[in-house]
Structure 1
Amino acid sequence: MKAYIFPGQGAQFSGMGKELYENSSLAKELFEKANEILGFRITDIMFSGTAEELKETKVTQPAVFLHSVILAKTLDDFKPEMVAGHSLGEFSALVASGALSFKDGLKLVSKRALAMQKACEITPSTMAAVLNLADEVVEQVCDSIDGVVVAANYNCPGQLVISGEYKAVELACEKMKEAGAKRALILPVGGAFHSPMMEPAREELAAAIEAIAFSTPICPVYQNVTASAVSDPNEIKKNLIIQLTAPVRWTQSVNQMIQDGATSFTEVGPGKVLTGLVNKINKEVETINA
């Protein structure tokens, strides 16, 4: 079975989507539609902006989303039997599988980016990557810290990202190293994504998600929150709302997809981060970059 996977924030690069725009009339039409919806020419920044410009909150998430979704729509043989997306990538997966319209997906992603930015400004918070430490040990260390720090991204065995209040994350990093982590390093991110620190953003996004009609996707969507196949539009909505404050269960999602019959994983969008993670989770399955 063919699984299609969609990357999250951090996969952006200058020049992303330019080739698509120049070589496909459908892609060009969708990019121009996106400029109109957003109210600024995001294509100018995507095609020739600096790394700094691409890192702007209002740009990053919509840019990665647009690159992924428009690429999926221009693929000749796009017939997914299951889809999943990492964090922001879940929105790309939902649009690509028909659960959300292009316009609604883009509007939600834009709202999500700005709501997350606002939440980041309330309390100093951050994320850190922990390498070569068992998931259970990472969870135990987080539980032992006074303050908010949680496991946020289960990326692959031996690579887990923690998230929370700045001081709590710093202290957790020290304890992770004491517990045997090969590395525990603070990441250059704007705040504590996928942690309770995102509660103000979750509330804001919830209202926007509730106001939009979702459809039944053409194939199951493996959502970050449950790491299981979901097709019911109401359940998809509920999980999407929880996603901002809950961990991304990527390892668990990929394993479940394989258990449910996935034999190949095609990454649709900028970068090759997810196929790299899939290879670390399971060396037997085929990985492709669209």
Structure 2
Amino acid sequence: MEFGVILAGLLTGGLYATIGLGLSLVFGVMRLVNLAHGELIIVGAYASSLVLSWWGIDPFLSLVIVVPVIAALAYPVQRYLLTGLLRRGLEPPLVATFGISLILSAGLTAIFGGDPRKLASSYSAAGMSLFGQQVRVIDVVGLGIGVVLTVVIFLVMRHSRWGAALRAASTDPATAGTMGINVNAVYAITFAASAAVAAIGGVFIGTAYSFTPTSGMGYILIGFTVVVLGGTGNTFGTLIGGLVLGLVQSIGGALFGGEYRDFVIYAFFIVVLAAKPLAERGLDAWRSRPAATRRTEVRA
């Protein structure tokens, strides 16, 4: 197999990690499956398109405007809508986020139409040599963004007061509340941070690929696959899951043809959903055996 196929998969995997990070963050803290995450990604792309058309600001520079605005809009959605629904169980907020996704998709279609768009930039098609292979600069940047976001989220989660409050709220919200932690505010900030990550991914997607108001569905399936692979709430696991998915898609496209690249992702998603619980049960059963028995099996 050509090294270029592997390299292309890893570069794409950086983008997929960015898509999965926001989903993993929200689910790991609130056990909330945000079905509107894909649409938030596309909203980020369209918001950057507006900034570009109104003020001529470069897509990546537009992040300074787009990310805070989308985070600010997401905060009250969690604080005043989803937080109350979370008290009723997991299904009401799931349905609510599905409704939000439909509203966002319909709204984008009404405002911008259904024609594909792409953010114009001088570097979207620029190439460079990497390990002897010709690749797009934008793909290398995408991998860098995925790695940087992963490290930043990990450091914030592990080495900041907000991260400590977030971990406490996710582990035992009731106890965290008695310790003076505003759990509702923590949830809202987490949701806003997830939306900010989605917006970053959206601007990158809009620069590297074309997009439409309905593109969010495909990206949320990618995000779910990454989260299932890496583990919910596992920051570095999400990065690894994104890289693995990128490799699977690239190798599948090389083996079966480029037209099957998306099919490979969806098929892999189904396989992972079916296989991971079985693997986890097998691992738990192995761990439950006496230590001496496990050592004997490993030596054998």
TM range (shorter): under 0.3
Max radius of gyration: which structure? Answer: 2
Report which of the two has the higher share of strand. 1
Structure number with higher helix proportion: 2
Structure with higher RCO (Cα < 8 A, 6+ apart): 2
Give the TM-score taking structure 1 as reference length. Answer: 0.28
